[in-house]
A = this chain, B = another copy of it.
């Protein structure tokens, strides 16, 4: 189904917020992300990476202006990783206020990959795969057309580029219609609701722990050269 990444990351974030209570303030998930590489598959609504970067910069700026100094961007979509990092790395160079704050970016499946792999066949999270389909079976089973799942080999998968999990040593840039005929990757047929529940709980626990620890990290003042020079 479309909207999978929003459903997953929202479930994780809302569970973590519930556990953390007043120690955290959760913004609603921003469903409009950068998915132009999926646009050949009908139903995609997306912005280009450079536009997504601008959106994230603006969101971060508003929260910083409101006085917050420890922000965690919890991401659940592969296509948002680079443009979100682009946004935040640019922001700290442009704004003292941003550089003076903690701007954290994480993608849920990278928080603790070894743990998440327990009980799974596939080596890691791909797209519409064993992991993601398990989560949807746990969260919104009515959306999963299990009988229509099609698997197929990836068009590219070699020693340098791993398109079905972690471990790539070089990056290849292709729209998904060149890599997969069905739009799925990995092994969605192996998905079960049970696996999804276990995964959801593990990730949520990591997010909770990360937020709790982030609250204790030291303030980072400028220890390098004085930078009273105006930047541009």
> Taking beta carbons and an 8 Å cutoff, which residues of A are in contact with B?
3, 6, 27-28, 30-32, 36-37, 39-51, 53-55, 58-59, 61-63, 65-67, 72, 79, 82-83, 85-86, 88-95, 97-99, 102-106, 110-112, 155-156, 158-160, 169-183, 210, 213, 217-218, 220-227, 229-232
Contact = CB atoms under 8 A, between A and B. Distances in A.
Nearest to A98: B173
A103 B63 CA distance: 28
B62 A46 contact: yes
Given A65-B231, A170-B210, A180 B111 contact: no
B104 A224 contact: no
Contact of A50 (B90, B170, B174, B180): B90
A92 B169 contact: no
B48 A93 contact: yes
For the complex formed by this chain, how many copies does it contain in all?
Answer: 6
Contacts of A93: 36-37, 39, 48-49, 175
A222 to B, nearest CB: 5
A105 B92 CA distance: 25
B178 A105 contact: no
Contact of A223 (B31, B62, B155, B169): B155
8 contacts: A42-B66, A47-B54, A48-B93, A53-B86, A66-B229, A72-B170, A88-B173, A175-B227
Contacts of A59: 32, 45, 47
A50 B86 contact: yes
Nearest to A99: B175
A9 B178 CA distance: 31
B103 A172 contact: yes
Contacts of A95: 232
B41 A225 contact: yes
Given A65-B232, A86-B49, A102 B177 contact: no
